[in-house]
Amino acid sequence: MDKRFWAIIGIIVLVFGGMVFASSQKKDTVVTGTTSHYAGNLKSTVTLTEYGDYQCPACSKFYPVAKEVKAKYADKVRFQFRNLPLTSLHPNAFAGARAAEAADLQGKFWEMHDLLYENQDPYGRTGWVADKDPLTNYFVKYATQLKLNTTQFKKDFASTAVNNRINADLDAFKATGEQMSTPSYFINGKLVSSSKLVDGNGAPSLDSFSKVLEDALAGK
């Protein structure tokens, strides 16, 4: 009877252990599917995450200020960028995200990120945001400018892996339960009201970002 008892216990342990292992494997798969574009102090306890859309006019207004913020707090805050292409409003936004993710596979994410915003027509009339084939007519040129392998860049741009990265970010944002809007900023996973990031005229402000980040660093 003792042998049967311990045999049953052994089976239970094996089954339970297999369930735990399978669960952890599933979790790891989800994590590796997300993007991990970080800058600043990677060991900081404060993470400022931006969900952005490369065709979004508001994002282009925040872009230069966000760049100033990253420079000012490079040694204090960890910065993260995640994709949130709102394709119902911005038809080339997903293509822009593909370009940035494809560049990332050759170590040039932030450089492509900057080029996309710096060459964005906020009115959507000219440039890559209005082009029917932005890859051929613009993104390959940006890749050449960044000295990427353009053949590989085009393959990665069209790959399932890149597509999955962007969709993983979209799913991550949906999981927050917040309204889909860009840019959206989170500090340690908590949404920051856009009203706290602008000045009295409604324009993105370095001082406003600084106040929010100083409070976070102080544990407020």
Following CA atoms 183, 186, 191, 192 in sequence, which dihedral angle do they give, to the nearest 10 degrees? -80
* Position 36 confidence tier, pLDDT thresholds 50, 70, 90: confident
Q: Where are the alpha helices (DSSP H) in 74-159?
A: 93-104, 109-118, 134, 140-145, 150-157
What span, in angstroms and rounded, lies between the C-alpha atoms of 194 and 197? 5
Check if the beta carbon of residue 33 is closer than 8 Å to that of residue 168: yes
What span, in angstroms and rounded, lies between the C-alpha atoms of 37 and 136? 25
- Give pLDDT tens digits for 91-132: 999 999 999 999 999 999 999 999 999 999 999 999 999 999
pTM (2 d.p.): 0.83
